[in-house]
Structure 1
Amino acid sequence: MSLLKKLFGSSAPKAPEPETHKGFLIFPDSQAEGSNYRLGARIEKEIGGALKTHHMIRADTFQTVDAANEAAVRKAKTLIDQMGERLF
């Protein structure tokens, strides 16, 4: 293994796996903001043969990206439960 790989790692951090809820795919996508992370997610569903996408961003911030992503999935599920396909 080369010195650079040892110092900097061999690859970029892996994106969180999408979660399925009522036929929708939820991709956690929280963004770094200073020393915190802003809650965000991408919600997708194929409707009538076309892929529809909704980008969800909230004001909530968390100290870790994992906490922000967990909260993003919970909020996305609530949004799906309330709006369904009207989300698009």
Structure 2
Amino acid sequence: MGFFSKLFGGSKSTEPKVVEPVEYKGFLIYQEALAEGGQYRVAGRITKQYGEELKEHRFIRSDVVGSESDSNELMLKKAQMFIDQMGDNIF
């Protein structure tokens, strides 16, 4: 079966996508849009280092847009607004 999958394009790369974080007020924002039915769901994570402990908040929004870049841009804006509102209480 593996041969036919490769021949007809059924095999996709399973390598994880490397996401460069955006620093905002001491937090790192990772934009990780999720492909869903030809569109992209706004998703990502916010992290912050506290001494030796790394805290992380993951979220998936109900917002769905047409392109990955639009999804990532919207995620960044929403994450920045969330940080402004909640600060360290995110975790």
Fold-level similarity (TM above 0.5): yes
CA distance, structure 2, for counterparts of residue 34 and residue 76 of structure 1: 24
**2:57 alignment counterpart:** 54
Match of 2:86 among 69, 83, 88: 83
**1:22 alignment counterpart:** 25
CA distance, structure 1, for counterparts of residue 32 and residue 17 of structure 2: 12
Q: Is residue 2:66 matched to residue 1:63?
A: yes
Q: Deviations over 1:36-83 (max 9, x none)?
A: 000011100012420000002100001000000010011000000000
Q: CA deviation at 1:17?
A: 1.7
Structure 2 spans left out of the alignment, 5+ residues: 1-14
RMSD between superposed Cα atoms in Å: 2.0
**2:7 alignment counterpart:** none
Structure with bigger RCO (C-alpha 8 Å, 6+ apart): 1
**1:36 alignment counterpart:** 39
Identity %: 44
Structure 1 spans left out of the alignment, 5+ residues: 1-11
SS of 2:55's equivalent in the other structure is strand
TM-score of the pair, normalised by structure 2: 0.79
Question: When the two structures are aligned, how many residues end up with a matched partner?
Answer: 80
CA distance, structure 2, for counterparts of residue 24 and residue 13 of structure 1: 22
SS of 2:18's equivalent in the other structure is coil
TM-score of the pair, normalised by structure 1: 0.81
